[in-house]
């Protein structure tokens, strides 16, 4: 078990360091860099120990993966332009079902998180995740604004 933790921490450190190196070389968005920055931010703001992080992030990534699959299906529904009122109704109801399923996944995983971490740590994680996304949005908006000025 200690070997798994050590391997996970080394992998996490490698991802983090490669994320920093890649960030300095280019400013383009990459999912890997985003993920590494998110994990680092959450770990720092929620004061997660390496042991807690090694238990939390695999579950967190599993949750996000399931939610992303549903977001993909919702996105394909949004591309469809229904022609009749009944098709519009079906589309709306199906999108609502996806939204509810995404929230159910979130609820299920929040309960799993609280089995391995204190409720306070989970709360801090959720708060940190929200802050991180807001900061990334602002950073992207500022970068886009600066590009338009040039």
pLDDT tens readout for residues 58-101: 999 999 999 999 999 999 888 888 999 999 999 999 999 999 99
* Spatial CA neighbour of 77 closest among 65, 93, 61, 66: 93
pTM for this model (two decimals): 0.72
pLDDT of residue 105: 97
Judge whether 55 and 116 are in contact, CB under 8 Å. yes
Backbone angles phi, psi at 127, to 5 degrees: -65, -45
């Amino acid at each position: 078990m200690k070997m798994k933790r050590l391997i996970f921490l080394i992998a996490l450190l490698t991802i983090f360091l490669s994320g920093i190196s890649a960030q300095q070389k280019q400013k383009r968005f990459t999912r890997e860099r985003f993920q590494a920055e998110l994990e680092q931010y959450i770990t720092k703001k929620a004061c997660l120990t390496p042991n807690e992080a090694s238990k939390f992030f695999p579950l967190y990534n599993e949750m996000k993966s399931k939610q992303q699959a549903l977001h993909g299906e919702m996105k394909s529904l949004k591309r469809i332009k229904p022609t009749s009122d009944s098709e519009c109704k079906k589309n709306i109801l199906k999108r609502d079902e996806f939204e509810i399923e995404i929230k159910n996944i979130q609820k299920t995983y929040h309960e799993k998180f609280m089995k391995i971490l204190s409720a306070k740590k989970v709360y801090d994680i959720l708060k940190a995740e929200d802050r991180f996304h807001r900061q990334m949005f602002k950073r992207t908006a500022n970068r886009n604004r600066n590009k338009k000025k040039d």
